[in-house]
Amino acid sequence: MTDAAGIEVKKAILCCRNLHARRCILYYQLVYPETEFFVCPSDIEFTRENWHTKGEWIDQVLGEMERCGGQFHKILRELPADSEFNTSRQEVPRF
C-alpha cells in the first residue's frame, strides 16, 4: 500500500501485544528494511519476568515461538538467493 502510494516510510511505531512484538518487528523489518522501528507493546497479564509461572502463559509464549519459526522458515526459504535481507538482529528501541 505504501509503495503504491509512493510513501517512503523512514520511521514507524508498531503497537501490538507484547507477546507478538518479536514476530511483528521481524515481518516489518523484512518488508521495510530501511525503516527505523519503535515497538510499543501493550500490557497483558504476563511479562518477560513471569511468563513461565503459569501453564496457560507458557502455552501462549511457546505457541508464539512456534509460529515465528514456522512462518519465517517459509518466508526466508522463498526469498531470492541474492536478497539483501539482513539477518543480523537490530536493537529495537522501546518507549
In this predicted structure, what is the pLDDT of residue 13?
95
pLDDT tens column, 4-13: 898 899 999 9
In this predicted structure, what is the pLDDT of residue 31?
84
In this predicted structure, what is the pLDDT of residue 35?
93
Residue 42, classed as helix, strand or coil, is strand
In this predicted structure, what is the pLDDT of residue 89?
44
- Report the C-alpha gap between 71 and 45 in whole angstroms: 25
In this predicted structure, what is the pLDDT of residue 86?
45
pTM over 0.85: no
CA angle 8, 9, 14 (to 5 degrees): 165
Q: Which residues of the chain have pLDDT under 70?
A: 79-95
Residue 14 CB: number of other CB atoms within 10 A? 16
